[in-house]
A and B are shown apart, each in its own frame.
Chain A
């Protein structure tokens, strides 16, 4: 039987992808941002930890979805997905190979569980998905596991509530645990932490609020799942709303979790970079 073995979160700042692709990770500006991923890179490739499949929760940044179609939750079900051309040409990263059997199984199971998922086959994946893969796995010839893309609308308001995201995580856990193949599955939540990319308030960072958010992923997930959107916006900036996606990861891990690793760095481009590794305890 498949089971969820860990949850990982990470910001997905596009400039991080550019720094990796252009070989700038050793520059003074970037060194401290990347250093916090060394632990995870080693941990994740140990045989007991290495996932067979990652369910990668991210938001599409107007790459696969334009204003014509705005799905709240879209699960990628094709066999593979190409890196998107976001204006600079596609990132030179491997093709994303899906575990399509598990993806379709999750889609069916979640729909029966009253989560009306959008199923998508033809989709290019942007920095929201590929930057976390680069952070965790470096620059391999091929990604070392299968990846199920789960795109969440956090661009056009309203995005899903934190509670809805958390409950979707629970439904995903039930779906994974009813899949007959013996698989280690991780759920990753990406985006955040505090950042604002617009107007005179651009550059907002709230380290205290971010750290409390990281604390409460293990200490008080109830506070996070009931947090209204306006708090994310006021405290963590207009793009800080991406953090609702972390709650899908958290909901998938069950009631109790253990924090294995944490990294927080200001700033990566416009953004407070946050990263955590959690293990389910039940």
Chain B
């Protein structure tokens, strides 16, 4: 019954355009995500809004992670260990919805992305596996 952990983890990396939140990513992005969590109180949101860079400097993150947060570069933040549910605290503080934030990662405009979702979403065809190409 038990799946081999190495095979399991290798398969997770085989999906196009997808960074599964494995423990490796979680460790890399620990402080990005803990920072994002801190925005769940109004007091911290106010401090963040008042001076984003100063607030970020309180957290032991890499400069690259800090810059990606300042840029709201969610796609890059996923590469740097961020997780969308944590990052949601950042875009919610910006008064942006999931749809607005997620659309920025697709190379599409918000309107085009929204229209794609209304006409049935993105087909999985050709996007299931990098190695098998289906």
Contacts and interface: CB of A to CB of B under 8 A. Distances in A.
A157 B20 contact: yes
Nearest to A59: B85
B65 interface: no
Interface in B1-49: 1, 3, 8, 11-12, 15-23, 26, 30, 33-34, 36-37, 39-42, 45
A200 B90 CA distance: 20
A87 interface: yes
A138 to B, nearest CB: 23
Interface stretch (A71-79, A103-111, A144-152, A203-211): A203-211
A87 B92 contact: yes
Contacts of B17: 199-202
A178 interface: no
Contacts of B12: 157, 229-230, 233
A194 B127 CA distance: 14
B62 interface: no
Contacts of B86: 62, 66-67
Given A205-B120, A269-B117, A198 B84 contact: yes
Given A198-B18, A198-B84, A200-B105, A205 B8 contact: no
A266 B120 contact: yes
B3 A269 contact: no
B68 interface: no
Contacts of B41: 85
Interface residues of A, number: 49
A86 B89 contact: yes
Interface in B96-125: 97-99, 102-103, 105-107, 113, 116-118, 120-124
A266 B36 CA distance: 30
A186 interface: no
A276 to B, nearest CB: 20
A198 B39 contact: no
A201 B127 contact: yes
Q: Size band of the B side of the interface?
A: 35 or more
A272 B120 CA distance: 9
A18 interface: yes
Given A15-B98, A269-B99, A207 B23 contact: no
Given A203-B121, A267-B117, A234 B85 contact: no
A259 interface: no
A14 B101 CA distance: 13
A155 B99 CA distance: 19
A5 interface: no
A117 interface: no
21 contacts: A18-B97, A62-B36, A66-B34, A67-B30, A67-B33, A67-B37, A155-B21, A156-B21, A157-B21, A200-B17, A200-B107, A201-B122, A201-B127, A203-B117, A204-B124, A205-B120, A229-B12, A230-B8, A230-B12, A234-B15, A238-B20
Interface of A: 14-15, 18, 29, 61-63, 66-68, 84-89, 155-158, 163, 194, 196-207, 209, 228-230, 233-235, 237-239, 266-267, 269-270, 272
Interface of B: 1, 3, 8, 11-12, 15-23, 26, 30, 33-34, 36-37, 39-42, 45, 74-75, 78, 83-86, 88-93, 95, 97-99, 102-103, 105-107, 113, 116-118, 120-124, 127-129
